[in-house]
Amino acid sequence: MEKGPEMNPWFVSGLVDGEGCFSVSFSFRKKLKVGIETRPSFSISLNRRDLDLLKQIHAFFGCGAIRYSKSDRTYKYESRSISDLTRRIVPHFERYPLVGSKSKDFLIFADVCRKANANQHLNRDVLREIIEMAYEMNPSGKRRHKKKDLLRELDELKV
């Protein structure tokens, strides 16, 4: 990955306070003991004319990838690896905190990433807690699964 001109880290946090998204989604996975995969994601979506800015963000964090989103015709920078999120993304926003309402999302996000990095999301009780926390985030976002369906899956697990 090309190293761009240094962006001021506070600039990055300001941009993310407006345009960034911290989310935690879930998928049913029969192969997992707990039956549910936890998927944290940090992303920024920008118009094509700001693709260069997105590349600089990519270089700044040194992880993740940029892809084109056909559905909303934007470019999205996204980091999903638990290791990258824990080592690079979360520490940045702890050092250069968000100011707006998104800061609440970030606190939950950081907690989920740390738990997942320690493999605690494979424990049924912790996963239940993670699901409850995640559904407090991004009130305007769309969800593929209802919370009660995820929790029922956990309740029905053979112990």
Is there binding between residue 78 and a copy of itself (CB under 8 A)? no
Query: In the window 94-153, what residues touch a copy of itself (CB under 8 A)?
Result: 96, 99-101
In the complex, minimum distance from the CB of residue 8 to a copy of itself, in angstroms, rounded to a whole number? 4
Q: Does 53 bind a copy of itself (CB under 8 A)?
A: yes
Closest CB 155 distance from a copy of itself, rounded Å: 33
Exposed, middle or buried by CB within 10 Å (0-12, 13-18, 19+), for 151? middle
User: Long-range contact list for 135-141, CB < 8 A, 24+ apart?
Assistant: 136/108, 137/22, 137/23, 137/24, 137/104, 137/105, 137/108, 137/109, 138/21, 138/22, 138/23, 138/105, 141/21, 141/23
7 interacts with a copy of itself by CB under 8 A: yes
Helix/strand/coil for 118: coil
**Of 43, 56, 79, 86, which lies in the binding site for a copy of itself, with binding defined by CB under 8 A?**
56
Closest distance between a copy of itself and the C-beta of residue 131, in Å?
A: 23
Shortest Å, Cβ 50 to a copy of itself: 5
Residue closer to a copy of itself, measured from CB, 26 or 105:
105
Q: Are 92 and 55 in contact (CB under 8 A)?
A: no
For 125, the enclosing helix (H) or strand (E) is helix 124-134
Q: Is the dihedral of CA 32, 38, 42, 43 positive or negative?
A: positive
Q: Which residue from 1, 28, 33, 52 is in contact with a copy of itself, where contact means CB under 8 A? A: 52
Residue closer to a copy of itself by CB (options 52, 149) is: 52
Residue ranges that bind a copy of itself, judged by CB under 8 A: 7-19, 46-47, 49-50, 52-53, 56, 96, 99-101
